[in-house]
Amino acid sequence: MPGVRDHLPSWVATPVLQALAAWSAAGLLSTSAILSLPSYGLFVLPFAVLAVFTAAGRFSFGRGTLGLCVGAGLALIAVGLANPDYRPLPPSGTVSLAPGQTSVTYGGLNPTPWLVAGSILVVASLLIVVLLGRHQSRQAAVH
């Protein structure tokens, strides 16, 4: 009886990609737990610890460990995407209400720095993983 692995592309089964995915999950959960510590972070923390110990126990420390940074970047991107309603106060600090308007909402969390930092972290980490893989394959070809 064919298993799930028989239907996946061959590159998915590579140890580096599996390690990268496991460490990414650990980084995502750990960063989420830290960022949300004042609210629900204590509930996420046990899962983050479990993910870190599982990844560390199953995979050696190498290129895949950069998944911690990928996961952290994904958590930052999630924070940015969760705050689309950011509306800064006017520079004057004075708000005029339109006729019939009783209130206005300003503030929120600016998503741009979160999205930029998360994207840079994800792209840079994946780029380093790829470059290290090319370097290791060149070293193996030389020897």
DSSP state of 107: B
Residue 85, φ and ψ in degrees, nearest 5:
-95, 20
Residue 40 corresponds to which amino acid? Y
Residue 34 token pair: 């830290």
Q: 69-128 pLDDT, tens per residue?
A: 999 999 999 999 999 888 887 888 788 888 888 887 777 889 999 999 999 999 999 999
Burial (Cβ within 10 Å: 0-12, 13-18, ≥19) of residue 119: middle
Q: What pTM, to 2 d.p., does this model score?
A: 0.80
Q: 48-70 pLDDT, tens per residue?
A: 999 999 999 999 888 889 999 99
Domain residue limits, the chain = 15-86+113-142
